[in-house]
Amino acid sequence: MRRPVIAGNWKMYKTQEETRAFFAAFKPLVPATPDCDVIVAPPFTSLAAAAAAAHGSSITIAAQNAYWEREGAFTGEISVRMIADAGGKAVLIGHSERRQFFGETDETVLKKTKAALAAGLTPIVCIGEKLAEYQAGKTQHVCETQFLAGSNSLTPEEFSRILLAYEPVWAIGTGHTATPEIATAVHKFLRSCAAARFSESLAASLRILYGGSVKPDNIKGLMAQEELDGVLVGGASLDPKSFASIVKDWPR
Ligand code: 13P
């Protein structure tokens, strides 16, 4: 009942020309009407090029970050309105790399989420524990804290429009994917947090993606888990063939 989502986060990779080359190769490799939502998140400078290249397909373009103010003296920042203007329909918020390297907090995640929702963008809110937290058995505590603070003050209607991405930091870019069982346990836990905070029915329709070293060769094990509603792919989304094979292998 939950439509799967396969999202690619390009991080700080690809110029405009490389973006156009990606879509020229990727589009013919995926079905015109795939059984899942396909999202690509290029860097800001390639957003418009990606939106133009994806035009006429069912691929959604997302930004990787946003600022919550409408406009103003905020050097280096990009507003949700600018993202929409460039053709973006969704935005990653609170990615662990932003939390780790750029001072993102649960409070800024909430502000960005609300701004994105107000602009009609789909926020893809990212949460996940660090290696030391995982080893100390604090996964649930960290995920619950990030989830509650990041969704605090959202109305049920607003909450129904977000996507949640569970990305254990120790699995990102390391080649150490969480096992399907580990990811499933956290997704179940997050769904129970959503039920407690909002309602059973909103929790049941919440789409939760897994991210962290998702590759064409481990996608089948992940997709076998009912609790996983899709994936957020980093490195393997840069290559049109590998990302297309993840898209094609997902539908159950
Ligand atoms: P990798 O797939 O490269 O581990 O990156 C995951 C990620 O951070 C997606 O947002």
What's residue 59's pLDDT?
97
Distance of CA 231 from the midpoint of ligand 1 (Å): 10
Q: What is the pLDDT of residues 12-26, one digit of tens each?
A: 999 999 999 999 999
How confident is residue 195, by pLDDT bands cut at 50, 70 and 90?
A: very high
The residue whose C-alpha atom lies closest to atom 2 belonging to ligand 1 is: 234
Amino acid at 144: E
Distance of CA 235 from the midpoint of ligand 1 (Å): 6
> Residue 250 above 80 pLDDT?
no
CA 88 to chain centre: 14
Q: Is 167 in the pocket of ligand 1 (CB under 6 A)?
A: yes
What's residue 177's pLDDT?
85
Q: Is 233 in the pocket of ligand 1 (CB under 6 A)?
A: yes
Q: What is the DSSP string of the chain?
A: -PPPEEEEE--S---HHHHHHHHHHHGGGS-SS-SSEEEEE--GGGHHHHHHHHTTSSEEEEES--BSSSSSS-TT--BHHHHHHTT--EEEES-HHHHHHS---HHHHHHHHHHHHHTT-EEEEEE---HHHHHTT-HHHHHHHHHHHHHTT--HHHHTT-EEEE--GGGTTTS-PPPHHHHHHHHHHHHHHHHHHT-HHHHHH-EEEEESS--TTTHHHHHT-TT--EEEESGGGSSHHHHHHHHHH---
Alpha-carbon span 158 to 118, nearest angstrom: 9
As annotated, the active-site residues are 95, 167
> Residue 131 above 60 pLDDT?
yes
What's residue 249's pLDDT?
77
> Residue 188 above 80 pLDDT?
yes
Q: Which of 163, 160, 168 is nearest to 129 (CA)?
A: 168
How confident is residue 154, by pLDDT bands cut at 50, 70 and 90?
A: very high
Rounded to two decimals, what is the model's pTM? 0.97
Residue 69 CB-half CA count within 13 A: 7
Q: Is 120 in the pocket of ligand 1 (CB under 6 A)?
A: no
Alpha-carbon span 169 to 127, nearest angstrom: 9
Contact partners, residue 245, CB within 8 Å, separation at least 6: 216, 219
Contact partners, residue 95, CB within 8 Å, separation at least 6: 9, 64, 65, 104, 126, 167
Q: What is the pLDDT of residues 82-102, one digit of tens each?
A: 999 999 999 999 999 999 999
Q: What is the pLDDT of residues 200-209, one digit of tens each?
A: 999 999 999 9
Instruction: From the CA of 171, give the closest atom in ligand 1.
Output: 4
Distance of CA 217 from the midpoint of ligand 1 (Å): 15
Q: Is 211 in the pocket of ligand 1 (CB under 6 A)?
A: yes
Amino acid at 80: V
Q: Is 125 in the pocket of ligand 1 (CB under 6 A)?
A: no
Instruction: From the CA of 213, give the closest atom in ligand 1.
Output: 4
Q: Which of 39, 32, 33, 30 is nearest to 63 (CA)?
A: 39
> Residue 6 above 80 pLDDT?
yes
The arithmetic mean of pLDDT across residues 45-74, rounded, is 97
User: Structure tokens of 10?
Assistant: 């390009």
